[in-house]
Amino acid sequence: MAVKIRLSRQGAKKRPQYLVVAVDSSKKRDGAVLEKFGHYYPKAKLAADKVKVDLEAIKAWIAKGAQPTQTVGHLLKTLAK
């Protein structure tokens, strides 16, 4: 089982919200979740409110072999700064 750390779409039309989750790579985007790490609101007014995730839990999953998607990888790099 290959695990991916990716975004799961939530929210209404033209008001996107995403959960940062760990899922089996063969599952659908909004399918069964192994663990939730936090959320991403791209349209939040304050930069501090855009991304809130548990970095320690994500690092633990990456240590176990989980692969972040390109988008999640970019979010993690911006948080690390």
Q: Are 3 and 25 a contacting pair, CB within 8 Å?
A: yes
Distances (CA, A) of 44 to 15, 57, 58: 10, 24, 22
As for how many domains the chain has, the answer is: 1
Per-residue model confidence (pLDDT) at position 22:
95
Domain boundaries, position 59: 3-80
At 17-37, the pLDDT tens digits run 999 999 998 888 778 899 999
- Render pLDDT for 40-65 as a digit per residue (tens, 0 to 9): 999 999 988 899 999 999 999 999 99
Which CATH number goes with the domain that contains 17? Answer: 3.30.1320.10
